[in-house]
Structure 1
Amino acid sequence: MKDHDLAELLKYSSPKEIYVITWNNLLIQLKCPFRVIVLNDIGWLKKGQIVLVSEIRVTNDIKTVFIIEMNAYYYFHFDILI
């Protein structure tokens, strides 16, 4: 994806909030910081640990990244706690 296309897409997003569909099909907005549980050991994070996401970012190839303790981790390593 070209930088211009990415910039156009991201102008409608925020690094401080995310929309999530719950198990009962409700759309809710979560604002940072929100809690997530670690699904597998990654970096200094251990499986089962609950941590706070301080910011949400997107990579150049449109993958969601959570910023936790100033470190970036892909979203699929976590379950969002609602």
Structure 2
Amino acid sequence: MKTDEIADLFKFCSPQSILVMTWYNKVKELYCPFAVQAKVDIGTISQKEVKEVSAVKLSSKGTTIFIIEDQAYFYYYFEILLHPL
């Protein structure tokens, strides 16, 4: 990504929240910590294990990163839980 593209992304990003689309086509802002469930085994996290995201970051390529227990994981390994189990 170019520097100006990254700067544009940061206008809409916060390390303490994420915007999600609900099943009802509503945009909802979730604030950290929020719950996620692993889709697959990743690092020390087992499939279907529920964890809390403490921060949200962006990679240098613009991919969303979840910080879980001080470790960085790509967002696509997780389902965001709007109503934690």
Per the normalisation by structure 1, the TM-score is 0.92
Paired residues for 1:3-82 under 5 Å: 3-82=3-82
Q: In structure 2, how many angstroms separate the alpha carbons of the residues matched to 1:20 and 1:11? A: 16
1:2, distance to aligned residue in structure 2 (A) = 2.7
Identity of aligned residues (%): 40
Which consecutive segments of 4 or more residues in structure 1 shift more than 4 A? none
Who is 1:2 aligned against?
Answer: 2
Unaligned residue ranges in structure 1 (runs of 5+):
none
Would the alpha carbon gap of residues 5 and 51 (structure 1) be closer, same or farther in structure 2, given more than 3 Å must change? Answer: same
SS in 2 for 1:56: strand
SS where residue 41 of structure 2 aligns?
coil
RMSD: 1.2
- Tell me the matched-pair count: 82
Q: How many Å apart are 1:4 and its aligned residue?
A: 4.4
* Whole-Å separation in 2 of the counterparts to 1:9 and 1:75: 16
Q: Distance in 1 between matches of 2:60 and 2:15?
A: 15
Q: Unaligned regions of 5+ residues in structure 2, if any?
A: none
Distance 1:26 1:71, change over 3 A: same
1:51 match: secondary structure: strand
Normalising by structure 2, report the TM-score: 0.89
